[in-house]
């Protein structure tokens, strides 16, 4: 092999390896990098809504004696409505149904809303959606001021001790599982 | 197998030719792409075992950071693990593209193709789990996207995405599951690779030594001199920061992040389905399907050479049914790719795809000789449509005899051409490590010059026969070889005192060289 050929071979190999090394770390800007995010995440044990009616005498007659309960109730977990307003503008409004194929699992909220950098008034309301007496049940509500930063996620969740919606800024949340440093 | 090369193959052949000049045809990494991918899997297992010794699921990022801080070992071993994975993706993509470009996708090869798609899928999945194990900003991107897609399926009690909201630390169980998948998937890869090459005889799982050590050295040097970065630990309450992305594994992220989650379940199966369907989409129409090989049982002597030569283990020996003692060859049609290698392996010309058997070839040569009447200074070029033979013959005005593959050329063809008056026969095959019939050129060399059955008879003057490896893009190299051979044949003819030839290839090529520019290597 001649020296120029070895040089070409070395050059081509170096270029190939460098291309591989670069594509293995080439920068990528994920969407939404310049803005902040309002993340709503919580879990709520579903509330049951029951519809009861009296059994007719004929129905009772048809049942074995030990099963003759006068009332029959059918129940299911109710859905909730989530409404988010940022600076008095509606930012999200959705129906959140209980999880599971039969809708018998808890309600999980996981939703992200863009939050431009700067101060904002954020209002969240999470209330029963399907009950005729929705107003009788207390809704989860939060009305707070948030100073959003680019790339930061502001978390709204339920405080396990008070059972209320709270805002957690990034710095306070334990995000990394590393227990040793 | 006589079908014409695809445009994609012509483009690939040009790149091959360029790299042949840099690395030589024997060490062209593009020819060895499948074997490079297989060999790098071993490198990944070795480096992976080392990393496993130090990885802690309770402290993913910290433990990887500690590995990176080991100055003599961990730093470059981790990077080698990463770059070898990237190289597997590149090698696999080149390998799959080559198979497609060479029309090696359908019929009995469908098994290799489909298992190849799953090999690639399983390898990508293995890479993703590996990236998540590091639990840095890159891992966070992959994990959140993965969870987003999975949460569309109504099968999880609690959405997976809730593990990554930043409310509480990601549970160790998540890293345990990832680590388990990262270790279990390579076992699956091993099984898939075994299925992948099940129909290939003598599968080449290691590249040429120079390629193997060369690529390993290049990747190791890269790992030492420019190690893979370790990004800051994942911060689930930050989003959108610029990350150095591994594009070999994260190529889909820019699209996926901008599409609704359900689209992954629409696009993913569509892409996989299309890839899996390639063998059926590229299968020639029934009328154009090449015939599988058949055996003329009366002529078969039971020598078993065709069984040894078949690159796809598609021939077996069975007891004769005609009352004679011994065995006879039988083609397993479902495994036959119609490559025609068996044609050249059989001394009594008893096997081959119908219509292109050795006997058909001999008849064709006779007609060719009668028509062209080659003289003692003429070189006849024999080659397939996938080599540079035809273009070179046209360029030089030499007589050209096409064969489906040089491996499908019976050695009697060469003898008959010389007996028919030709001064020399130049057989042009593809590069040895690139043969679309896998071993065509190797067996041809052994048959012409190494005494392998069906060998070129000893009475044939070997000075008048030459075998050249020149794929489609290697017009320049072939041109040089033709000139040198033509010079040699001219000298032989002069020594024997022959008169001027009807077509003086030597003079013709020289004249054209002066009149025209040098050939560019481009092939019509
Ligand atoms: C990790 C990934 C892969 C590895 C390690 C690998 C390796 C190999 C090896 C060693 C061979 C035998 C080559 C020979 O001896 O001639 C082969 C054949 C083949 N591969 Fe792959 N391969 C991979 C992925 C793929 C993919 C993604 C495809 C296409 C989608 C593919 C398509 C094929 C086909 C069609 C053949 C058969 C060629 C023939 O029969 O002529 N492979 N592969």
Tell me whether residue A56 is in a domain. no
Question: Which ligand 1 atom minimizes the distance to the CA of B35?
Answer: 10
- Which residues have CB under 8 Å from B407's CB, separation 6+? B339, B340, B341, B344, B429, B435, B437, B439, B440, B441, B442, B443, B444
Query: What is the predicted pLDDT for the residue at B402?
Result: 94
Cα dihedral A59, A63, A69, A71 sign: negative
**C-alpha–C-alpha distance, residues A116 and A148, integer Å:** 7
- Which residues have CB under 8 Å from A163's CB, separation 6+? none
Residue A115 in contact with residue A38, Cβ under 8 Å? Answer: yes
CATH of the domain at A120: 2.60.40
B218 → closest Cβ in A17, A26, A168: A17
The reply to whether ligand 1 has any atom less than 6 angstroms from the CB of B103 is: no
- Which residues have CB under 8 Å from A91's CB, separation 6+? A38, A84, A85, A113
**C-alpha–C-alpha distance, residues B13 and B65, integer Å:** 44
State pLDDT tens for residues B420-436. Answer: 999 999 999 999 888 88
Which of left, alpha, beta for B241 (phi over 0: left; psi -120 to 50: alpha)? beta
Q: How confident is the model at residue B505 (pLDDT cuts 50, 70, 90)?
A: low
Backbone angles phi, psi at B435, to 5 degrees: -55, 130
If you count them, how many residues does chain B have? 524
State pLDDT tens for residues B293-319. Answer: 999 999 999 999 999 999 999 999 999
**Mean pLDDT within B471-481:** 93
Evaluate if residue B515 carries a pLDDT over 50.
no
**Mean pLDDT within B263-274:** 95
**C-alpha–C-alpha distance, residues B451 and B455, integer Å:** 5
Tell me whether residue A4 is in a domain. no
Residue B130 in contact with residue B124, Cβ under 8 Å? Answer: no
Q: CB-side exposure of B216: number of CA atoms within 13 Å?
A: 19
**C-alpha–C-alpha distance, residues A131 and A46, integer Å:** 13
Tokens of B271: 């892409």
Q: How far is CA B97 from the centre of its chain?
A: 8
Evaluate if residue B20 carries a pLDDT over 50.
yes
**C-alpha–C-alpha distance, residues A79 and B116, integer Å:** 46
The reply to whether ligand 1 has any atom less than 6 angstroms from the CB of B37 is: yes
Average predicted confidence (pLDDT) for chain B = 92
**Mean pLDDT within B447-457:** 97
State pLDDT tens for residues B81-105. Answer: 999 999 999 999 999 999 999 999 9
Evaluate if residue A73 carries a pLDDT over 90.
no
Q: How far is the CA of B190 from the centre of ligand 1 (A)?
A: 13
Q: CB-side exposure of B286: number of CA atoms within 13 Å?
A: 0
When mean pLDDT is compared over A70-74, B87-91, B172-176, the highest value belongs to: B87-91
Q: How confident is the model at residue B246 (pLDDT cuts 50, 70, 90)?
A: very high
Q: What angle do CA B16, A25, B122 make, to 5 degrees?
A: 70
Tell me whether residue A100 is in a domain. yes
Evaluate if residue B195 carries a pLDDT over 70.
yes
Task: Kindly identify which residue of chain A lies nearest to residue B22, measuring between CA atoms.
Answer: A9
- Which residues have CB under 8 Å from B369's CB, separation 6+? B416, B417, B420, B421, B422
Question: Which ligand 1 atom minimizes the distance to the CA of B189?
Answer: 1
Least confident of A34-38, B73-77, B171-175, B467-471: A34-38
Q: How far is the CA of B38 from the centre of ligand 1 (A)?
A: 9
What torsion do the CA atoms of B264, B269, B274, B279 make, to the nearest 10 degrees? 150
Evaluate if residue B386 carries a pLDDT over 90.
yes
Least confident of A160-174, B153-167, B499-513: B499-513
**C-alpha–C-alpha distance, residues A181 and B457, integer Å:** 76
Tell me whether residue A39 is in a domain. yes
- The answer for A 53-82 residues in CB contact with B (under 8 A) is none
Residue whose pair of structure tokens reads 């696009």 in the numeric block:
B267
Query: What is the predicted pLDDT for the residue at B519?
Result: 36
Verify whether the Cβ–Cβ distance B83 to A177 is below 8 Å.
Answer: no
- Which residues have CB under 8 Å from B109's CB, separation 6+? B99, B199, B279, B337
Tokens of B258: 């901008």
Evaluate if residue B271 carries a pLDDT over 70.
yes
Verify whether the Cβ–Cβ distance A27 to B90 is below 8 Å.
Answer: no
**C-alpha–C-alpha distance, residues B194 and B112, integer Å:** 10
Rounded to the nearest angstrom, the minimum Cα separation between A163 and chain B is: 15
Residue B103: how many other CB atoms lie within 10 Å: 20
State pLDDT tens for residues B205-242. Answer: 999 999 999 999 999 999 999 999 999 999 999 876 78
Chain A partners of B159 at a C-beta cutoff of 8 Å? 99, 108, 110
Residue A91 in contact with residue A13, Cβ under 8 Å? Answer: no
State pLDDT tens for residues B177-190. Answer: 999 999 999 999 99
Residue A20 in contact with residue A12, Cβ under 8 Å? Answer: no
Tokens of B162: 């809730």
SS3 content of chain A, % helix, strand, coil (to 5): 20, 45, 35
Residue B71 in contact with residue B83, Cβ under 8 Å? Answer: no
pTM: 0.89
Closest to B36 measured CA to CA, from B178, B211, B194: B211
SS3 string, B188-256, reads HHHHHHHHHCCCCCCCCCCCCHHHHHHHHHHHHHHHHHCCCCCCCECCCCECCCCEEECHHHHCCHHHH
**C-alpha–C-alpha distance, residues B319 and B363, integer Å:** 31
The reply to whether ligand 1 has any atom less than 6 angstroms from the CB of B479 is: no
Q: How confident is the model at residue B521 (pLDDT cuts 50, 70, 90)?
A: very low
**Mean pLDDT within B120-131:** 98
Evaluate if residue B514 carries a pLDDT over 70.
no
Tokens of B32: 């060895």
Question: Which ligand 1 atom minimizes the distance to the CA of B37?
Answer: 5
Average predicted confidence (pLDDT) for chain A = 86
Domain B24-235+247-281 bears CATH identifier 1.20.810.10: yes
Query: What is the predicted pLDDT for the residue at A42?
Result: 92
Closest to A35 measured CA to CA, from A112, A92, A96: A112
Tell me whether residue A73 is in a domain. no
Closest to B392 measured CA to CA, from B480, B466, B467: B480
Closest to B244 measured CA to CA, from B253, B236, B121: B253
Chain B partners of A35 at a C-beta cutoff of 8 Å? 240
Residue A104 in contact with residue A77, Cβ under 8 Å? Answer: yes
Evaluate if residue B417 carries a pLDDT over 70.
yes
DSSP lists the bridge partners of residue A27 as B244
Verify whether the Cβ–Cβ distance A153 to B60 is below 8 Å.
Answer: no
Rounded to the nearest angstrom, the minimum Cα separation between A110 and chain B is: 7
SS3 string, A127-149, reads EECCCCCHHHCCCEEEEEEEEEC
Q: How far is the CA of B179 from the centre of ligand 1 (A)?
A: 27
Chain A partners of B248 at a C-beta cutoff of 8 Å? 23-24
The reply to whether ligand 1 has any atom less than 6 angstroms from the CB of B164 is: no
Q: Domain tally for chain A?
A: 1
What torsion do the CA atoms of B185, B190, B191, B193 make, to the nearest 10 degrees? 120
Tell whether A131 is within 8 A of chain B (Cβ).
Answer: no
Q: What angle do CA B390, B392, B394 make, to 5 degrees?
A: 70
Evaluate if residue B67 carries a pLDDT over 90.
yes
Tell me whether residue A119 is in a domain. yes
Query: What is the predicted pLDDT for the residue at B159?
Result: 85
Verify whether the Cβ–Cβ distance A152 to B238 is below 8 Å.
Answer: yes
Print the domain residue range for A148: 35-47+78-172
The reply to whether ligand 1 has any atom less than 6 angstroms from the CB of B90 is: no
Q: Where are the domains of chain B?
A: 24-235+247-281, 355-512
Tokens of B299: 């002529």
Tell me whether residue A86 is in a domain. yes
Rounded to the nearest angstrom, the minimum Cα separation between B293 and chain A is: 42
Query: What is the predicted pLDDT for the residue at A137?
Result: 67
Residue B204 in contact with residue B35, Cβ under 8 Å? Answer: yes
> Testing the interface with A: which of B33, B167, B217, B255 to mutate, by most A Cβ within 10 A?
B167
Share of chain B above pLDDT 90, in %: 85
Least confident of A12-16, A88-92, B277-281: A88-92
Residue A80 in contact with residue A127, Cβ under 8 Å? Answer: yes
Closest to A152 measured CA to CA, from B166, B168, B260: B166
Give B511-520 contacts, CB < 8 A, sequence gap 24+.
B512/B395, B512/B396, B518/B476, B519/B395, B519/B475, B519/B476, B519/B479, B520/B475, B520/B476
Given the DSSP bridges, would you call strands A71-77 and A48-54 parallel, antiparallel or unpaired?
Answer: antiparallel
Report ipTM for this prediction. 0.90
Tell me whether residue A130 is in a domain. yes
Share of chain B above pLDDT 70, in %: 94
Q: How confident is the model at residue A133 (pLDDT cuts 50, 70, 90)?
A: low
Chains A, B: CB pairs < 8 Å:
174
Tokens of B14: 């040009």
A25 → closest Cβ in B60, B228, B253: B228
Tell whether A102 is within 8 A of chain B (Cβ).
Answer: no
């Amino acid at each position: 092999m001649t020296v120029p050929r070895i040089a070409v071979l070395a050059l081509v190999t170096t270029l190939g390896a460098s291309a591989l090394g670069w594509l293995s770390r080439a920068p990528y800007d994920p969407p939404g990098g310049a803005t902040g995010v309002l993340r709503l995440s919580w879990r709520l044990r579903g509330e049951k809504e029951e519809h009861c009616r009296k059994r007719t005498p004929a129905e009772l007659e048809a049942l074995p004696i030990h099963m003759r309960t006068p009332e029959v109730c059918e129940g299911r977990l109710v859905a909730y409505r989530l409404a988010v307003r940022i600076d008095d503008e509606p930012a999200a409004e959705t129906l959140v149904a209980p999880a599971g194929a039969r809708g018998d699992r808890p309600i999980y909220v996981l939703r992200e809303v863009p939050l431009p950098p700067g101060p904002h008034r954020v209002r969240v309301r999470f209330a029963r959606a399907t009950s005729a007496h929705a107003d009788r049940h207390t809704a989860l509500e939060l009305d707070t001021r948030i100073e959003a930063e680019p790339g930061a996620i502001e978390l709204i969740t339920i405080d396990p001790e008070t059972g209320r919606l709270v805002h957690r800024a990034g710095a306070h949340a334990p995000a990394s599982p590393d227990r040793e440093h | 197998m006589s079908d014409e090369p695809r445009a994609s193959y012509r483009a690939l052949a040009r790149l091959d030719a360029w790299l042949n000049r840099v690395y030589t045809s024997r060490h062209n990494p593009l020819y060895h792409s499948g074997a490079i991918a297989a060999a790098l899997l071993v490198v990944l297992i070795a480096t992976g075992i080392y990393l496993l010794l130090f990885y802690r699921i309770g402290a993913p990022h910290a433990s990887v950071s500690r590995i990176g801080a080991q100055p003599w070992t961990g730093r470059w071993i981790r990077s080698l693990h990463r770059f070898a994975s990237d190289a597997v993706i590149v090698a696999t993509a080149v390998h799959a593209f080559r198979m497609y470009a060479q029309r090696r996708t359908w019929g009995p090869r469908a098994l290799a193709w489909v298992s190849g798609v799953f090999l690639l899928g399983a390898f990508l999945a293995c890479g993703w789990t590996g990236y998540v194990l590091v639990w840095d900003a890159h891992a966070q991107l992959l994990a959140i996207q993965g969870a987003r897609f999975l949460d569309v399926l109504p099968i999880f009690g609690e959405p997976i995405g809730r593990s990554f909201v930043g409310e509480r630390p990601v549970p160790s169980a998540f890293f345990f599951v990832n680590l388990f998948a990262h270790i279990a998937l390579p076992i699956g890869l091993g099984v898939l690779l075994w299925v992948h090459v099940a129909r290939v005889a003598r599968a080449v799982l290691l590249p040429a030594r120079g390629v193997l050590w060369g690529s390993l050295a290049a990747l190791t040097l890269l790992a030492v001199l420019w190690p893979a970065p370790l990004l800051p630990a994942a911060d689930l309450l930050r989003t959108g920061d610029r990350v150095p992305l591994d594009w070999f594994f994260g190529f889909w992220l820019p699209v996926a992040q901008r599409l609704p989650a359900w689209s992954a379940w629409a696009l993913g199966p569509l892409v996989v389905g299309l890839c899996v369907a390639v063998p059926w989409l590229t299968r020639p129409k029934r009328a154009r399907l090449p015939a599988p090989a058949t055996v003329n049982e009366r002529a078969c002597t039971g020598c078993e050479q065709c069984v040894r030569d078949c690159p796809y283990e598609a021939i077996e020996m069975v007891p004769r049914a005609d009352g004679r003692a011994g065995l006879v060859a039988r083609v397993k049609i479902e495994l036959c790719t119609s490559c025609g290698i068996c044609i050249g392996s059989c001394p009594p010309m008893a096997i081959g795809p119908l219509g292109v058997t050795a006997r058909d070839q001999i008849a064709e040569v006779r007609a060719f000789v009668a028509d062209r009447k080659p003289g003692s200074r003429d070189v006849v070029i024999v080659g397939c449509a996938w080599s540079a033979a035809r273009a070179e013959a046209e360029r030089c005005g030499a007589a050209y005899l096409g064969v489906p593959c040089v491996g499908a050329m019976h050695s009697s063809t060469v003898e008959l051409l010389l007996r028919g008056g030709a001064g020399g026969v130049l057989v042009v095959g593809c590069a040895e490590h690139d043969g679309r019939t896998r071993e065509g050129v190797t067996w041809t060399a052994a048959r012409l010059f190494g005494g392998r059955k069906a060998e070129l008879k000893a009475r044939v003057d070997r000075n008048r026969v030459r075998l050249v490896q020149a794929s489609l893009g290697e017009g320049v190299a072939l041109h040089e070889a033709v000139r040198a051979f033509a010079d040699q044949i001219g000298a032989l003819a002069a020594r024997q005192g022959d008169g001027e030839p009807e077509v003086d290839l030597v003079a013709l090529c020289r004249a054209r060289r002066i009149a025209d520019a040098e050939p560019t290597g481009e092939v019509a």
